[in-house]
Amino acid sequence: MKYLQNFSNLAYPLVRNNPLRSWPKTKNISSRNFFIVLIISFLGCSVFADTLEVCSSCEYTSVSEAIAKAKDGDEVLVKGGVYSEGNILVDKSILLKGIDDPILDGKDQSGLLTITANGVTIEGFVIQNVGTSYLKDRAGIKVDKAKNFIIRNNRLLNTFFGIYLANSSDGLVANNKLVGQAVEEMSSANAIHIWYCKRITVEDNLVRQHRDGIYLEFVDNSLIRRNTSEDNLRYGLHFMFSNNDNYFHNVFRRNGAGVAVMFSKKINMWNNVFEYNWGKASYGLLLKEIYDADIKNNAFRENTIGILVEGSTRINYLQNDFISNGWAIKISGGCLDNVISENNFLSNTFELSLKASVNNNTFDGNFWSDYNGYDLDRDGIGDVPYRPVKLFNYIVNQTPEAMVLLRSLFVDIINFSEKVSPVFTPENVIDNQPAMKQIDNTSESLSLKTH
């Protein structure tokens, strides 16, 4: 596979308009495509490609010099050493490859790589010290109006923006490690920032200590998977005005808040872990004004709020695990046609909280660890419906100060009496088919993945 990729990279200039190729399918190329790509690559390679080496004793001693001399399809190999050349413009379709971890150092004065050509691959660099700028969007690697790029196996340390993609499409950002030093939101920026892009794949990256881990604004048809985003000041992952995107198998941990999905449509969120997002305004996942999303097989563990929902419609919450959160799901604002089903609610302080009246939502078929009904016909479904909204929950919504009575004997007593004869808790928030046993949401729900 690696062999194949190396060759196919070189082929970009030739294949970029080839309808057979389309990101992010690189890794799933069928055998027929494989041969076509191989043949084209081989041709491209033998006819055009030169290799330009950069090191202190090589023909080229500076990266920008080598790029200036290179032509489309060439390889520029940068060997170990520190290169402080300010911002390097990559305006040709080349492979820019670091060997033995060459360091590009901005000395806190500038961004480092700016890609403006199509079909560029950047790999194997250590990119560091971009420096905060309030005027310019300085970035470790910036891609502007380019297609078919690959950015992989780099380490970006103390960059302001890490990887900044704008007006681009069909790109891959993989296997990078981005570690920032963000202390406050105002003077920090996002690790991977994507703006007005289409068909981008972001996978297997580790992003840490930035403002947002991964930020998408006006980004469509993209895939975010297998990333770990942790210790970021604001969000682990942030969608704004983005549609038809997927994020699978990511871990969001100890961020100001895990993931925010805002003003977006048709987002699939599967098999992610949201954990330890704990703080006064923290939550695992925020949904704000979104439509037609699918939230499946995720694990929400020890978040102040597992999912905070503000006005969302046609959302399916299926087979998720909510473990030890303050609130498992907190819904404020009108929510229509949501399905909350087959989830496990385990030891949450509050399971469900509803601030607004909601209509046409389903809460059936979940497992609630607080449920203590019985199952006489032994079909695995409790014979007594379960009301996930407790009286205290209701009171706290009316009077937030009442939270000081949390875990007092009095609250236990009123919750119990309300359970026996419901008066205040909403009629339509009820699980008519509560599961007797914990539901096995095993399909890679990552719920056992350690931190």
Applying CB under 8 A, which residues contact other proteins?
Answer: 278-280, 282, 304, 324, 326-327, 347, 349, 395, 398-411, 413
Q: Find the shortest distance in angstroms from Cβ 389 to other proteins.
A: 16
Based on CB atoms, which residue is closest to other proteins, 20 or 406? 406
Nearest residue (CB) to other proteins, 347 versus 428 = 347
Q: How far is the CB of 400 from other proteins (least distance, A)?
A: 5
Residue 84 or 324 having the CB closest to other proteins: 324
| Shortest distance, position 424 Cβ to other proteins, whole Å | 12
Nearer to other proteins, 162 or 388 (CB): 388
Work out how close the CB of 330 gets to other proteins at its nearest, in angstroms, rounded to a whole number.
11
Closer residue to other proteins (CB): 78 or 395: 395
Q: State the SS3 of the chain.
A: CHHHHHHHHHHHHHHCCCCCCCCCCHHHCCHHHHHHHHHHHHHHHHHCCCEEEECCCCCECCHHHHHHHCCCCCEEEEECCEECCCCEEECCCCEEEEECCCEEECCCCCCCEEECCCCCEEECCEEECCCCCCCCCCEEEEEECCECCEEECCEEECCCEEEEEECCEEEEEECCEEECCCCCHHHCCCCEEEEEEEEEEEECCEEECCCCCEEEEEEECCEEECCEEECCCCEEEEEECCECCEEECCEEECCCEEEEEECCECCEEECCEEECCCCCCCCCEEEEEEECCEEECCEEECCCEEEEEEEEECCEEECCEEECCCEEEEEECCCECCEEECCEEECCCEEEEECCCCECCECCCCEECCCCCCCCCCCCECCCCECCCCHHHHHHHHCHHHHHHCCCHHHHHHHHHHHHCCCCCCCCCCECCCECCCCCCCCCCCCCCCC
Residue matched to tokens 């069909």: 170
Comparison of 279 and 380: residue with beta carbon closer to other proteins: 279
Q: How far is the CB of 350 from other proteins (least distance, A)?
A: 8
38/402 with CB nearer other proteins: 402
User: CB–CB of 71/92 below 8 Å?
Assistant: yes
**Closest separation in Å from C-beta 221 to other proteins:** 37
Query: Minimal distance in Å, beta carbon 300 to other proteins?
Result: 15
| Closer by beta carbon to other proteins, 305 or else 318 | 305
- Quote the least distance from Cβ 273 to other proteins, whole Å: 18
Task: Provide the minimum distance between the beta carbon of 447 and other proteins in the complex, in angstroms, as a whole number.
Answer: 15
Nearer to other proteins, 200 or 352 (CB): 352
